[in-house]
Amino acid sequence: MADTRTAPQTPHVTRREDYRMPDWRVPEIALDFDLDPASTRVRATMQVERSVRHDRPLVLNGDALELVSVRVDGGDAVWHMEGGDLVIALTGDVHEIETEVVIAPERNTQLMGLYASGGNLCTQCEAQGFRRITFFPDRPDVLSRYRVKMTADKARFPVLLANGDPVASGELEGGRHWAEWHDPFYKPCYLFALVAGDLVANKGSFTTLSGRQVELGIWVRAADLPKTDHALHALKLSMAWDEKVYGREYDLDVFNIVAVDDFNFGAMENKGLNIFNSRYILADPDTATDYDYDAVAAVVAHEYFHNWSGNRVTCRDWFQLSLKEGFTVFRDQSFSADQGSAAVKRIEDVRGLRASQFPEDAGPLAHPVRPDEYIEISNFYTATIYNKGAEVIRMMATILGPQKFRAATDLYFERFDGTAATCEDFVTCMEEAGGVDLTQFRRWYTQAGTPRVTASLAQEGGRARLRLSQAVPPTPGQPFKEPMVLPLRLKLFGGITGRALCDEQLVLLDSESREIVFENLPETPVLSVNRGFSAPVIVETNRSAADLAFLSAHDDDPFARYEAMQQLMLDTLVAAVATGKADPRPVIDAVRNTLTDPRLDSAFIAEAVLLPSDSFIGDQMAMVDPDAIFRERETLRADLGKSLEKEWLEAYDSARANRFEYSPPAKGARRLKNVALGYLAASGAEDAAELAYAQFEDADNMTDRQGALTTLVNGHSGKREAALAAFYQRYAGNALVLDKWFQTQALSSRSDAAAAVEALAGHPDFTLANPNRARALIGAFSVNQRAFHDPSGRGYKFVADQLIALDKLNPQTAAKLIPPLGRWKRFDAERAAKMRAELERIVATPGLSKDMFEQATKSLD
C-alpha cells in the first residue's frame, strides 16, 4: 500500500505556468471490477498513444493501490514506482497496457475513490480520486471512452450502475451477477463513477427537444423512496430549462442519480450517473425545510447543468476549475430565480457571497478566481471559485446583454465540445460573440480581493455630480492591484416625490475614479447604486440614514430596497458597537414601513426585516468585538420586537393557520411567520415561548418545527429542553434531521453554547466519520461568532481538537473547516494569540495531511 500522506515539510506546489500537455493520450479504457467491500480487484485495459514526439515514459498516478500485475501488449513490462505513481517504459507510439490492483473500499475513510457507505459501494473521483481506484494519468485533459464491467454478490449488491448506457448483464454461479456499461462520450477520469448496492429507484422519463426518450432514475434505500419526488421533479424542470435558456439537450438514454449518506460535499456530476449527498435529494414536509427543498432543486439543477458546462466541455487543468464551477453556479442561480422570486433569490445569493466569499477574499486564504498555484487542489473548491466565479460570469452577461450572451455561450459550447478548455477560451467567446474587448475585464480572473467602491453624490442646484472611485485591497502575494472593470447599475430618485429622476444606467467603472454629471434635476436626488448587485464589490456612499430609509421604501429595484435597509441597519449597529449608543428609531420606522407595505410579498419582507448577522457586522469593523456586537444586535432586536409587537403578531397570525404547501407564496408566508416569531421572542413577551412551543407541537412541516425549535433553543424558557427531547425522539434514526438537532444547538445564541457543543461531541449520535454530522456540529459552531470566540479560547481549542482527529479519517473535510481559525488578525491580541496557538498545534501534529498543512500554514501568515 502506498502512503497516502505527504510529509508536510516537503509539500509539492503545482503551478499554473508549469502546464504541459499530456505526454500520452488514453483514448480507450476497459475496467473490470470484482467488487467486495473488504477487497476489490480492479483490472484496467488501456489503449495509450504517444501525443507528440518525446522519449518520456508513461506515468500513471496511483494512491493507496496494491499492485498485482502490469502488462504491456500482453507481455512483460519494464516499470518502476515513483512514490505512488507507476512509471512504464514504452518504445512504440501505441500500446495496450493492462494493470491489476486490489483496493479496500470499506477501509476508505477519506471518501475519495471507491468506498462503502451504508453497506453500498460508490465512488468519488473529482478532483484526484480516480488514482485511488486504478493507475491512470489522473488529470482532466486526458479524455477517454470507458467500458465498465462490474461483478458482485447479487443479494448484497442487486443494483450495478456506471456511467453511460447499460449494455449487458448476466448471472453467475455462487449467487454472483455482472453488468456492463458503456459511455460513448470522451471524458476525463474525474467523471468516472460506479455504484453497487441494494437500492430502489423513483423512475421517470423526459423527452428531449429532438425527441430522445431519456429514462430517469433517483436511486435510494427502499425506506427513502417516498422522499424522492421533489428531486425527480426538479430534474425534469432542469432538463427543460437548459433546453429553453441555453439550447442544451441531454445526450444519453439514461440519467441516474444515487443518494448516499457519507459524502464530502454536496453532489457530483459524473457523466450520466450523478452521486449525491442524501441531504440534497431527500425531501418531504416532515423532515425537510423550505430551505432544504430549494437546495435540493438547486443542486439537482447544478449537477445536471454540468453535463454541458463541465462534462461535454471540461477543464484543461484544475486551475481552470471556475470555468465549470463559476459558470454552472451562475446557471443554477438563474434557474432558481426563474422558479420563484428572482429578487429574493438574488438577496439569498448575495447574502451567501458576503458570508463566505468576502471574508475569504479579505483573509489569508484569498486567491484569484483562476489560482496560480496549489498544494492540494481539494482546498480550492472555494466560495471564490464557485460564487465569485459566478459573479464574474454574471458581469459578462450584464455587459453583453441577454442575446449576445446566449450567442457567446452557443459559440463556446460548439467550439469546445468534447475538449478540455480554459477560462481564457470562455472569455474569448464572450468577446467574439459580444463584440467587446474584455482585456481589462480579465483582471477578475487574476486579481484576488474584493474591490471597494466609493460613490459620493454632491448637489449644486439642479445639477448633481457623482464621483465614483475604486480600490482593490492587497491580498497574499498581490500587494498592488490595477483597476478592475466594474459594471454598476445606478439610478437617481427624487428625495421628495420618490419619482425616478433618470433611467437606470449601466456605468462601467474601469479607472481609479470617474465623475458623472446629472443635469436639470427638479428635486434633491437620492442615489441608488449597484442595483441588483451588478458588481461583487463593497460600496461606500455618503448617504444619510434618512436617504437609506427613503430608498428602503421607494426604490423600484427590490434588491436595492433590501440593500438600503441592510445598510441602514449596519450603520446603526456599527455605530452602537463603537459608541455604546445609537438611535434605533430610523431602523424601527423603516422596518414598520416594510412590514405594512401592501405591495410587498411575504418572502421579500422576511428577508428585508432581518438584521445583518453577527459576523457580517464584524466584517465591517477594523477589529471584531464579538461580545459588543452580540449585545448591540440583541438590543436592537429587542427594540424592534417591542416597538412593533402588534405588527409582528399580525404577520404571525396571517400565516398561522396555513397547512403545508410547497409554493412560493406558502414558503414566503412561513418565512415571515418564523422571522416574526423570532422578533416576538426577542421582545421578551412572556407568551412568546408558549407560542413557539405550540408551533413546535402543531407544525405539519419541518420549516415551522425547526423555526420554533430554534427560537426555543436560543431562549431560556422551561420548554427548551422538552422541545429538544421531543425533536430528538421523533427523528431518532433519521440522520439528516439529527444533523439539524446538532446544528441548531451549535448555532445557539446562548452564553452556554460552547459548553453545550463540547458535551454534544460526546453524544452517542455524534461521529466524525460522517461529514454531514461533523459539519453540523463543528462547522456550525465555528461560525457562531459569539460562542466560537468565547474569551477563554475554549471554542478554538475544541475545534482544533476535533479537526486534528478528523484529519486522520478525512483530510478533505477537515481542511475545509480551518478558515474560521484563520481569521485571527481581525480579533484582539488575546484572542488572536489563542487562535494562532491552535493553528500552530495543528501544523505541529505528526502525520498531518497536506490538505490541512496547506490551509493551516497559510492561515498563520
E strand or H helix at 754, and its extent?
helix 753-760
Q: Coil, strand, or helix at residue 781?
A: helix
127 binds, among Zn ion, ligand B3K, none (CB under 5 to 8 A by kind): ligand B3K
Task: Find the residue with minimal CB distance to ligand B3K.
Answer: 126
Query: Which of 178/255 has CB closer to Zn ion?
Result: 255
Whether the link from the prior residue into 127 is cis, omega within 30° of 0, is yes
| 265 makes contact with ligand B3K (CB under 6 A) | yes
Helix, strand or coil, per DSSP, at residue 733 = coil
CA distance 45 to 29: 6
309-338 footprint of ligand B3K as x/- string (CB under 6 A): ----------------x-------------
Number of residues located near Zn ion, criterion CB under 5 A: 2
Q: Does 273 bind ligand B3K (CB under 6 A)?
A: no
Question: What's the min distance (Å) between Cβ of 266 and Zn ion?
Answer: 8
Q: Which does 265 bind (CB under 5 to 8 A by kind): ligand B3K, Zn ion, none?
A: ligand B3K
Candidates 62-70, 151-159, 299-307, 466-474 — which segment interacts with ligand B3K by CB under 6 A? 299-307
Minimum distance, C-beta of residue 267 to ligand B3K, in the bound complex (Å) = 6
CB-count exposure of residue 243 (10 Å: 0-12, 13-18, 19+): middle
Which is catalytic among the residues 126, 180, 269, 303?
Answer: 303
Name the one range near ligand B3K by CB under 6 A: 265-273, 648-656, 751-759, 773-781: 265-273
Of 265 and 330, which has the nearer Cβ to ligand B3K?
265
Residue 367 vs 633, nearer CB to Zn ion: 367
Residue 384 lies near ligand B3K (rule: CB under 6 A): no
Cα gap 108→125, rounded to integer Å = 13
Strand-pair category, 538-541 with 452-460:
parallel
Distances (CA, A) of 556 to 492, 524, 532, 560: 11, 17, 11, 8
- Site for ligand B3K contains 303 (CB under 6 A): yes
- Inter-CA distances, 217 with 87, 258, 272, 274, 450, Å: 40, 8, 10, 10, 42
Give yes or no for residue 850 binding ligand B3K (CB under 6 A). no
302 part of the interface to ligand B3K, by CB under 6 A: yes
Q: Which residues pair with 29 in a beta bridge?
A: 46, 146
Question: Residue 819: which residues within 8 A CB-CB, separation 6 or more?
Answer: 359, 360, 363, 365, 855, 859
Indicate which single residue of 378, 572, 813, 857 sits in contact with ligand B3K (rule: CB under 6 A).
Answer: 378
Q: Provide, rounded to whole angstroms, the least separation between the CB of residue 305 and Zn ion.
A: 8
Closer CB to Zn ion, 325 or 607, in the complex: 325
Q: At what angle do helices 850-860 and 794-809 cross, to 10 degrees?
A: 150
* Per-residue binding letters, 307-326, with Zn ion (x by CB under 5 A): ------------------x-
Contacting residue, 255, 381, 444, 679, with ligand B3K by CB under 6 A: 381
User: Is 515 annotated in the active site?
Assistant: no
For ligand B3K, which is the closer residue by CB, 273 or 569? 273
> Which region, left, alpha or beta, applies to residue 214 given φ > 0 means left and ψ of -120 to 50 means alpha?
beta
Regarding 307 and contact with ligand B3K (CB under 6 A), the answer is: no
Of 269, 547, 704, 851, the one binding ligand B3K (CB under 6 A) is 269
- Contact between 224 and ligand B3K per CB under 6 A: no
Cell of 112: 475519495
Taking CB under 6 A as the rule, does residue 268 contact ligand B3K? yes
Please report how close the Cβ of residue 328 comes to ligand B3K at its closest, in angstroms: 7
Residues that contact ligand B3K, how many (by CB under 6 A): 12
Radius of gyration of the chain (CA): 28
Torsional class of 733: left (φ above 0), alpha (ψ -120 to 50), beta (otherwise)? left
Nearest approach in angstroms of CB 379 to ligand B3K is: 9
| Binding partner of 183, given ligand B3K, Zn ion, none, CB within 5-8 angstroms per partner class | none
Nearest Cα to 550, choosing from 512, 516, 523, 511? Answer: 523
Single residue of 36, 63, 100, 126 touching ligand B3K by CB under 6 A: 126
Burial 698-727 (b: 16+ CB within 10 A, else e): ebebbbbbbbbbbbbbbbebebbeebbebb
**Residue 126 contact, options ligand B3K, Zn ion, none, Cβ 5-8 Å cut-off depending on partner type:** ligand B3K
Note whether 385 binds ligand B3K by CB under 6 A.
no
* Residue 815: CB minimum distance to ligand B3K, A: 10
The reply on whether position 242 binds ligand B3K by CB under 6 A is no
**Nearest alpha carbon to residue 350 among 535, 108, 484, 137:** 535
Given candidates 127, 400, 423, 776, which one binds ligand B3K under the rule CB under 6 A? 127
Binding mask 324-363 toward Zn ion (x if CB under 5 A, else -) reads -x--x-----------------------------------
Quick one: cell of 172? 453467475
Give Cβ neighbours of residue 598 (< 8 Å, ≥ 6 apart). none
Which residue is listed with cell 505513481?
A: 85
Complete DSSP assignment for 342-365 = HHHHHHHHHHHIIIIIHHHHTSTT
Comparing CB distances to ligand B3K, the nearer of 555 and 851 is: 851
Give the chain's end-to-end CA distance (angstroms, integer): 35
Q: Which residues bind ligand B3K (CB under 6 A)?
A: 126-127, 265, 267-269, 302-303, 306, 325, 378, 381
| Catalytic center residues | 303
Q: Which residues bind Zn ion (CB under 5 A)?
A: 325, 328
